[in-house]
Structure 1
Amino acid sequence: MAELMQRGGAERGLLICGSGIGVTIAANKFNGIRASIAHDPASAEQGVVHDAMNVLSLGAKVIDSATAATVLAAFLAATPSDAERFVRRTNKVQQIEKEQG
Protein backbone atom coordinates (compact mmCIF):
# COMPACT_ATOMS: atom_id res chain seq x y z
CA MET A 1 0.00 0.00 0.00
CA ALA A 2 2.77 2.46 0.89
CA GLU A 3 4.64 1.71 -2.32
CA LEU A 4 1.44 2.17 -4.32
CA MET A 5 0.95 5.56 -2.70
CA GLN A 6 4.55 6.54 -3.38
CA ARG A 7 4.04 5.74 -7.08
CA GLY A 8 0.92 7.94 -7.15
CA GLY A 9 -1.51 5.03 -7.41
CA ALA A 10 -3.48 6.16 -4.35
CA GLU A 11 -3.76 9.32 -2.28
CA ARG A 12 -4.78 7.61 0.95
CA GLY A 13 -4.51 4.21 2.51
CA LEU A 14 -6.09 1.99 5.14
CA LEU A 15 -4.17 -0.56 7.18
CA ILE A 16 -5.60 -3.03 9.69
CA CYS A 17 -3.92 -5.35 12.16
CA GLY A 18 -4.75 -6.53 15.66
CA SER A 19 -3.90 -3.29 17.45
CA GLY A 20 -3.06 -1.01 14.53
CA ILE A 21 0.34 -0.31 16.06
CA GLY A 22 2.54 -2.63 14.01
CA VAL A 23 1.22 -1.53 10.63
CA THR A 24 1.54 2.12 11.65
CA ILE A 25 5.19 1.71 12.59
CA ALA A 26 5.95 -0.10 9.34
CA ALA A 27 4.04 2.34 7.13
CA ASN A 28 5.79 5.36 8.62
CA LYS A 29 9.14 3.99 7.42
CA PHE A 30 8.13 4.98 3.87
CA ASN A 31 8.80 8.55 2.73
CA GLY A 32 5.60 10.49 2.17
CA ILE A 33 3.51 8.24 4.38
CA ARG A 34 1.91 9.86 7.41
CA ALA A 35 0.12 7.00 9.13
CA SER A 36 -1.66 7.12 12.45
CA ILE A 37 -4.03 5.05 14.50
CA ALA A 38 -7.48 6.51 15.06
CA HIS A 39 -10.26 4.67 16.81
CA ASP A 40 -12.80 7.50 16.82
CA PRO A 41 -14.07 9.81 14.07
CA ALA A 42 -12.80 13.02 15.69
CA SER A 43 -9.21 11.75 15.83
CA ALA A 44 -9.37 10.53 12.24
CA GLU A 45 -10.64 13.89 11.04
CA GLN A 46 -8.13 15.89 13.09
CA GLY A 47 -5.28 13.70 11.87
CA VAL A 48 -6.05 14.67 8.30
CA VAL A 49 -6.93 18.32 8.92
CA HIS A 50 -4.06 19.17 11.29
CA ASP A 51 -1.33 16.72 10.27
CA ALA A 52 -2.13 15.72 6.68
CA MET A 53 -2.44 12.09 7.76
CA ASN A 54 -2.74 10.01 4.59
CA VAL A 55 -2.91 6.50 6.04
CA LEU A 56 -5.43 5.37 8.63
CA SER A 57 -4.50 2.41 10.80
CA LEU A 58 -7.16 0.48 12.66
CA GLY A 59 -6.95 -2.18 15.34
CA ALA A 60 -9.30 -5.05 14.55
CA LYS A 61 -9.10 -6.25 18.16
CA VAL A 62 -9.71 -2.73 19.48
CA ILE A 63 -12.84 -1.48 17.70
CA ASP A 64 -15.89 -3.12 16.15
CA SER A 65 -16.70 -2.97 12.45
CA ALA A 66 -19.45 -0.35 12.83
CA THR A 67 -17.10 2.03 14.64
CA ALA A 68 -14.36 1.30 12.11
CA ALA A 69 -16.75 2.30 9.32
CA THR A 70 -17.52 5.66 10.96
CA VAL A 71 -13.82 6.30 11.59
CA LEU A 72 -13.00 5.48 7.97
CA ALA A 73 -15.78 7.75 6.72
CA ALA A 74 -14.44 10.65 8.80
CA PHE A 75 -10.90 10.02 7.51
CA LEU A 76 -12.03 10.00 3.89
CA ALA A 77 -14.26 13.07 4.25
CA ALA A 78 -11.56 15.24 5.83
CA THR A 79 -9.14 17.40 3.88
CA PRO A 80 -5.80 18.82 5.05
CA SER A 81 -6.02 22.40 6.26
CA ASP A 82 -4.27 25.12 4.32
CA ALA A 83 -3.75 27.12 7.53
CA GLU A 84 -0.13 28.20 7.75
CA ARG A 85 0.62 26.43 11.06
CA PHE A 86 -0.54 23.08 9.69
CA VAL A 87 1.24 23.53 6.35
CA ARG A 88 4.41 24.44 8.23
CA ARG A 89 4.06 21.29 10.35
CA THR A 90 3.72 19.08 7.28
CA ASN A 91 6.68 20.79 5.63
CA LYS A 92 8.82 20.09 8.71
CA VAL A 93 8.01 16.39 8.49
CA GLN A 94 8.86 16.37 4.78
CA GLN A 95 12.18 18.09 5.51
CA ILE A 96 13.04 15.41 8.07
CA GLU A 97 12.28 12.73 5.47
CA LYS A 98 14.65 14.40 3.00
CA GLU A 99 17.42 14.72 5.58
CA GLN A 100 17.08 11.13 6.77
CA GLY A 101 16.86 9.68 3.26
Structure 2
Amino acid sequence: MKIGLGSDNNAFKLKTIIKEHLEDLGIEVKDFGCHSEDAVDYPDVAFEVAEAVSKEDVDRGILLCGTGIGVCVAANKYPGIRAALAHDEYSAERAQLSNNAQILTMGAQIVGPEVAKKVVSAYVNAQWAEGSKRKVDKIIDREKEFMSQNYKDAVTKGC
Protein backbone atom coordinates (compact mmCIF):
# COMPACT_ATOMS: atom_id res chain seq x y z
CA MET A 1 0.00 0.00 0.00
CA LYS A 2 1.15 3.52 -0.79
CA ILE A 3 -0.28 6.44 1.20
CA GLY A 4 -0.26 10.08 0.13
CA LEU A 5 0.28 12.15 3.28
CA GLY A 6 -0.19 15.87 3.64
CA SER A 7 -0.80 18.62 6.18
CA ASP A 8 -0.83 22.31 6.69
CA ASN A 9 1.58 23.97 9.12
CA ASN A 10 -0.83 23.48 12.05
CA ALA A 11 -0.38 19.72 11.75
CA PHE A 12 3.24 19.53 10.63
CA LYS A 13 4.45 17.87 13.85
CA LEU A 14 1.64 15.28 13.81
CA LYS A 15 2.27 14.58 10.12
CA THR A 16 5.90 13.77 10.93
CA ILE A 17 4.77 11.32 13.62
CA ILE A 18 2.16 9.71 11.33
CA LYS A 19 4.70 9.37 8.52
CA GLU A 20 7.08 7.49 10.83
CA HIS A 21 4.21 5.32 12.10
CA LEU A 22 3.16 4.37 8.57
CA GLU A 23 6.74 3.52 7.63
CA ASP A 24 7.04 1.40 10.79
CA LEU A 25 3.97 -0.50 9.54
CA GLY A 26 5.78 -1.17 6.27
CA ILE A 27 3.63 1.27 4.29
CA GLU A 28 5.20 3.39 1.57
CA VAL A 29 4.53 7.10 2.08
CA LYS A 30 4.52 9.89 -0.48
CA ASP A 31 4.86 13.11 1.52
CA PHE A 32 3.04 16.06 -0.08
CA GLY A 33 4.13 18.49 2.62
CA CYS A 34 4.14 20.74 4.30
CA HIS A 35 7.80 20.35 5.18
CA SER A 36 8.10 22.94 7.95
CA GLU A 37 5.99 25.00 10.31
CA ASP A 38 5.92 27.87 7.80
CA ALA A 39 2.38 28.87 6.83
CA VAL A 40 0.75 26.69 4.16
CA ASP A 41 -2.85 26.88 2.93
CA TYR A 42 -4.54 23.55 3.66
CA PRO A 43 -6.57 23.48 0.40
CA ASP A 44 -3.36 23.41 -1.65
CA VAL A 45 -2.09 20.28 0.09
CA ALA A 46 -5.54 18.65 0.15
CA PHE A 47 -5.97 19.13 -3.60
CA GLU A 48 -2.54 17.61 -4.29
CA VAL A 49 -3.28 14.49 -2.25
CA ALA A 50 -6.80 14.18 -3.71
CA GLU A 51 -5.38 14.41 -7.23
CA ALA A 52 -2.76 11.75 -6.47
CA VAL A 53 -5.47 9.43 -5.14
CA SER A 54 -7.69 10.18 -8.13
CA LYS A 55 -4.89 9.40 -10.57
CA GLU A 56 -4.00 6.27 -8.54
CA ASP A 57 -0.46 7.55 -7.92
CA VAL A 58 -1.18 6.50 -4.33
CA ASP A 59 -3.67 3.96 -2.97
CA ARG A 60 -5.15 6.20 -0.28
CA GLY A 61 -4.51 9.51 1.41
CA ILE A 62 -4.25 10.92 4.90
CA LEU A 63 -4.67 14.66 5.42
CA LEU A 64 -4.13 16.69 8.58
CA CYS A 65 -4.85 20.25 9.60
CA GLY A 66 -5.83 21.90 12.87
CA THR A 67 -9.29 20.33 13.08
CA GLY A 68 -9.28 17.99 10.08
CA ILE A 69 -12.38 19.77 8.80
CA GLY A 70 -10.71 22.11 6.31
CA VAL A 71 -8.73 19.39 4.54
CA CYS A 72 -11.81 17.17 4.50
CA VAL A 73 -13.97 19.83 2.86
CA ALA A 74 -11.24 20.67 0.35
CA ALA A 75 -10.48 17.05 -0.60
CA ASN A 76 -14.19 16.32 -1.08
CA LYS A 77 -14.35 19.04 -3.74
CA TYR A 78 -12.14 16.91 -5.96
CA PRO A 79 -14.33 14.81 -8.31
CA GLY A 80 -14.53 11.17 -7.34
CA ILE A 81 -13.00 11.61 -3.89
CA ARG A 82 -14.60 10.51 -0.66
CA ALA A 83 -12.72 11.96 2.29
CA ALA A 84 -13.81 11.15 5.84
CA LEU A 85 -13.01 12.92 9.09
CA ALA A 86 -12.28 10.48 11.92
CA HIS A 87 -10.86 10.98 15.38
CA ASP A 88 -11.49 7.49 16.72
CA GLU A 89 -10.65 3.98 15.58
CA TYR A 90 -14.23 2.89 14.90
CA SER A 91 -14.99 5.85 12.63
CA ALA A 92 -11.71 5.39 10.76
CA GLU A 93 -12.47 1.72 10.17
CA ARG A 94 -16.05 2.49 9.07
CA ALA A 95 -14.79 5.21 6.71
CA GLN A 96 -13.22 2.44 4.69
CA LEU A 97 -15.64 -0.45 5.33
CA SER A 98 -18.89 1.48 4.84
CA ASN A 99 -17.90 4.33 2.55
CA ASN A 100 -14.77 3.25 0.70
CA ALA A 101 -13.25 6.59 1.72
CA GLN A 102 -10.00 7.03 -0.14
CA ILE A 103 -8.82 9.78 2.21
CA LEU A 104 -8.80 9.95 6.00
CA THR A 105 -8.61 13.37 7.66
CA MET A 106 -7.77 14.28 11.25
CA GLY A 107 -7.14 17.36 13.35
CA ALA A 108 -3.85 17.84 15.13
CA GLN A 109 -5.54 20.12 17.67
CA ILE A 110 -8.17 17.45 18.35
CA VAL A 111 -6.20 14.21 18.78
CA GLY A 112 -2.82 13.50 20.27
CA PRO A 113 -0.12 11.42 18.61
CA GLU A 114 -0.99 8.09 20.25
CA VAL A 115 -4.67 8.30 19.37
CA ALA A 116 -3.79 9.48 15.85
CA LYS A 117 -1.57 6.42 15.34
CA LYS A 118 -4.41 4.11 16.41
CA VAL A 119 -6.84 5.89 14.08
CA VAL A 120 -4.40 5.59 11.16
CA SER A 121 -3.80 1.91 11.88
CA ALA A 122 -7.55 1.21 11.95
CA TYR A 123 -7.97 3.01 8.62
CA VAL A 124 -5.11 1.34 6.75
CA ASN A 125 -6.02 -2.12 8.08
CA ALA A 126 -9.65 -1.90 6.93
CA GLN A 127 -10.41 -3.07 3.41
CA TRP A 128 -13.50 -2.13 1.38
CA ALA A 129 -15.60 -5.27 0.97
CA GLU A 130 -18.46 -3.62 -0.95
CA GLY A 131 -20.82 -4.16 1.97
CA SER A 132 -22.46 -0.76 1.40
CA LYS A 133 -21.86 -0.69 -2.35
CA ARG A 134 -25.47 0.26 -3.13
CA LYS A 135 -25.18 3.35 -0.92
CA VAL A 136 -21.75 4.37 -2.18
CA ASP A 137 -22.99 3.95 -5.77
CA LYS A 138 -25.80 6.42 -5.02
CA ILE A 139 -23.21 8.97 -3.92
CA ILE A 140 -21.14 8.36 -7.06
CA ASP A 141 -24.22 8.63 -9.30
CA ARG A 142 -25.30 11.92 -7.72
CA GLU A 143 -21.82 13.34 -8.14
CA LYS A 144 -21.89 12.41 -11.83
CA GLU A 145 -25.26 14.12 -12.14
CA PHE A 146 -23.89 17.30 -10.57
CA MET A 147 -20.91 17.21 -12.88
CA SER A 148 -23.16 17.20 -15.93
CA GLN A 149 -22.97 20.14 -18.32
CA ASN A 150 -26.19 21.69 -16.99
CA TYR A 151 -24.81 21.85 -13.46
CA LYS A 152 -21.50 23.25 -14.69
CA ASP A 153 -23.42 26.00 -16.52
CA ALA A 154 -25.42 26.86 -13.38
CA VAL A 155 -22.28 27.15 -11.30
CA THR A 156 -20.61 29.33 -13.91
CA LYS A 157 -23.61 31.68 -13.86
CA GLY A 158 -23.47 31.91 -10.07
CA CYS A 159 -26.75 30.12 -9.35
Identify the TM-score tier after normalising by the shorter chain. Answer: over 0.9
Tell me the number of residue pairs that the alignment of Structure 1 and Structure 2 aligns: 99
Counterpart CA distance in 2 for 1:2 and 1:17 is 15
What is the correspondence of 1:40-79 to structure 2 with a 5 Å cutoff?
40-79=88-127
Q: One-letter code of the match for 1:98? A: K
Distance in 2 separating the partners of 1:51 and 1:8 = 18
**Greater relative contact order (Cα < 8 A, sep 6+):** 1
Query: Which residue identity does 1:6 align to in structure 2?
Result: S
Tell me the TM-score normalized by structure 1: 0.93
CA distance in 1: counterparts of 2:90 and 2:74, whole angstroms: 24
1:94 aligns with 2:143: no
Alpha carbon RMSD of aligned pairs, Å?
0.9
1:14 aligns to what?
A: 62
Query: d(CA) in 2 for partners of 1:33 and 1:11?
Result: 12
Q: Which residue of 2 aligns with 1:38?
A: 86
In structure 1, C-alpha distance between the alignment counterparts of 2:80 and 2:105, rounded to whole Å: 16
Once the two structures are aligned, what percentage of the paired residues are identical? 37
Secondary structure at 1:31 match in 2: coil
For normalisation by structure 2, the TM-score amounts to: 0.60
Structure 1 runs (4+) greater than 4 angstroms displaced:
none
Larger Rg: 2
Q: Which runs of 5+ in 1 are unaligned?
A: none
